[in-house]
Structure 1
Amino acid sequence: MANIKSAMKRIKVIKKKTARNRMVKSQLKTAIKKFEEALTVGNFEDAKAKLKFVEKKLMQAAAKNVIHKSKASRKVSRLATKLNKAV
């Protein structure tokens, strides 16, 4: 455990940021699963709407540095490709 006041503060700040990052990543995974579920069922209109939502969430996460912007773009690209192949 840290003895210096600034180090103790950093530990608190890091805990908060870690919790937020974990929450955002969990939301992303859930949104992606819902998109893929809609694809497997064959509900393409719903899948398109969910893809738009996933893209928005990925870009927001990239903007907040939860994930890298290239990773967000790559995910969107791959999901869009999946949708296009299914249709």
Structure 2
Amino acid sequence: MPWVYLLLALAALALALVSKSTVLTVLALLAALALLLFWVLGLLARRVEAGSRDASMIVDPMELRRLREQAEARRLAQAAGRDASSSTSSAE
């Protein structure tokens, strides 16, 4: 879609160059300037969109808390497993 703005801007610029009326020339130049601005903003919007993450992948606070609790439980289980294995090996 941004490329359509560029083509329209070029057409407005061509109209400004071939026009004999001052008012039409000024209006065509203003239109060309506005269309060029829309073209640049469209390109920038596409670039930002390409670099952004998918919003559906964002974790809500409740899910994040549940994941933290699971990680903490795993850490405690691993620590308990290491303590149990170190106490059995030292008893031998």
Q: Shorter-chain TM-score: what band?
A: 0.3 to 0.5
Q: Which has the larger radius of gyration?
A: 2
Task: Give the alignment's TM-score, normalised by structure 1.
Answer: 0.38
Task: Give the alignment's TM-score, normalised by structure 2.
Answer: 0.36
